[in-house]
Amino acid sequence: MKSGIRAIDIMNHNVVTCTEDMTISEVAKLMNKHRIGGLPVCSDSNLNGLITERDIMMKVIAKGLNPTNVTVKQVMNSPMKATADKFSDIVDLARLMNDYDVSRVPILDSGKLVGIVTNKDVLVNAPELLDTFVERAHINNKGKPSHPEAFGICEICSDRGHLHYSQDGFRCDDCHTK
């Protein structure tokens, strides 16, 4: 199934990046300033890896390391598991995110970083793919999401929105209180 919506149509062209020699403290400030959860790690426009909030939490904070003494190179994901080219279909992007359990896919053109597509970009432009992401939460966590709250389709009334998870499944705010 192809949608006709391509990465070039929905990607963020103004990608905030970092370098391997930056400290985790510097990267965290950059992520906070731009309100983003992950950064491609580049030298010039060559993609060397990716660093996410989760990487920082698991590989630095949880281990009690000082973020001012740890570099991006020590924490980043490299080589990249999931990248796509600018003509990749949105369905293929969603599949990559699902298969590699990532929320952002760097977009390359002739090996150079030209953009990034996040799961939010996919959902805004193809809301019918929301079920793919909700299903991933069920499969990856044996029916229980990693967090007790999520966004998706209520299993009681089928409304889309903020969800709560309980032993009865995913429920919207209204159905959760009933």
For position 4, what pLDDT does the model report?
Answer: 82
- Condensed to tens digits (0 to 9), the pLDDT of residues 77-101 reads 998 889 999 999 998 998 898 888 8
Q: What is the mean pLDDT of the chain?
A: 84
For position 168, what pLDDT does the model report?
Answer: 65
**What mean pLDDT comes out for the span 97-115?**
91
For position 150, what pLDDT does the model report?
Answer: 59
- Condensed to tens digits (0 to 9), the pLDDT of residues 8-57 reads 999 999 999 999 999 999 999 999 999 999 999 999 879 999 999 999 99
**Sheet strand arrangement including 149-153:** 149-153, 160-166, 169-172
Q: Domain ranges in the chain? A: 7-118, 141-176
* CA distances for 136 relative to 24, 115, 141, 143, 145, angstroms: 30, 25, 8, 9, 9
Q: For domain 7-118, give the fold.
A: CBS-domain (3.10.580)
34: enclosing H helix or E strand: helix 24-34
**pTM of the predicted structure, to 2 decimals:** 0.70
Q: Which of 89-98, 107-116, 134-143 is the least confident region?
A: 134-143
3-state secondary structure of 15: coil
